[in-house]
């Protein structure tokens, strides 16, 4: 039995295939990601800054959240474990902060189990008065954070190349269907 394609059927098939493939690819873009921070990356803040807030698109698991705030002298300034406030992860700081560049390294686990890691830096203004108290030492209970994989990149970054590949595939499918269609004038 030979199936004859109508003109509408030939045009509709690639569109349906594209919609099915795009629907299957959409969960990859649904991963939780960092949307902002306070202080923001590159910001200049006063020495009296008391916390770092990391904002995410989805909820994260507080039990698996690690935030390490390191000063220009290499000492950590975090006070206790990070806490969850809605979709924000908040790390309290022991202050005042010394002038210079501070680094925030984070690793959290989204509700779907996807790990999110990254780093950002902010600067404490040089003119701020700093208490001469010794810098806080790292807490022995704090788990070390592997900064080697702290890229801030997410696996969901493949959406654009995936979409382009799907469009090329749909175009190729349409071309194959067009070549197989009966030519006018043939019996």
Query: pLDDT tens-digit profile of 66-115?
Result: 999 999 999 999 999 999 999 999 999 998 999 999 999 999 999 989 99
Structure confidence at residue 143 (pLDDT): 40
**Closest C-alpha among 47, 46, 43 to residue 130:** 47
Out of 74-78, 126-130, 165-169, least confident range: 165-169
Classified by CATH at the fold level, domain 30-152 comes out as Immunoglobulin-like (2.60.40)
Q: Which residues contact 163 (CB under 8 A, 6 or more apart)?
A: 22, 25
What is the average pLDDT across 15-40? 70
**Closest C-alpha among 63, 79, 90, 180 to residue 138:** 79
What is the average pLDDT across 51-75? 95
Half-sphere exposure of residue 78: CA atoms within 13 angstroms, side-chain side: 27
Percent of the chain scoring above 90 in pLDDT: 48
Q: Where are the domains of the chain?
A: 30-152
User: In this model, does residue 42 exceed pLDDT 60?
Assistant: yes
- Give the Cα separation of 142 and 67 in Å (integer): 10
User: In this model, does residue 36 exceed pLDDT 50?
Assistant: yes
- Give the Cα separation of 78 and 52 in Å (integer): 9
Structure confidence at residue 127 (pLDDT): 74
Q: In the predicted model, what is the mean pLDDT of the chain?
A: 75
């Amino acid at each position: 039995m030979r199936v004859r394609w109508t003109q509408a059927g030939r045009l509709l098939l690639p569109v349906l295939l594209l919609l099915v493939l795009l629907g299957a690819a959409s969960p990859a873009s649904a991963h939780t990601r960092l949307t902002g921070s306070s202080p923001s990356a590159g910001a200049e803040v006063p020495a009296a800054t008391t916390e770092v807030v990391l904002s995410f698109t989805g909820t994260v698991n507080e039990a698996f959240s690690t935030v390490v705030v390191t000063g220009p002298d290499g000492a950590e300034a975090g006070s206790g474990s990070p806490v969850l406030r809605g979709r924000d992860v908040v790390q309290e700081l022991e202050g005042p902060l010394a002038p210079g560049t501070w680094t925030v390294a984070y690793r959290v686990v989204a509700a779907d189990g996807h790990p999110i890691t990254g780093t950002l830096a902010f600067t404490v203004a040089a003119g701020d008065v700093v208490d001469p108290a010794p810098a806080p030492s790292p807490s022995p209970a704090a788990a070390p954070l592997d900064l080697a994989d702290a890229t801030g990149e997410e696996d969901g970054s493949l959406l654009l190349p995936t979409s382009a590949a799907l469009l090329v595939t749909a175009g190729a499918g349409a071309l194959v269907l067009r070549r197989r269609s009966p030519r006018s004038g043939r019996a």
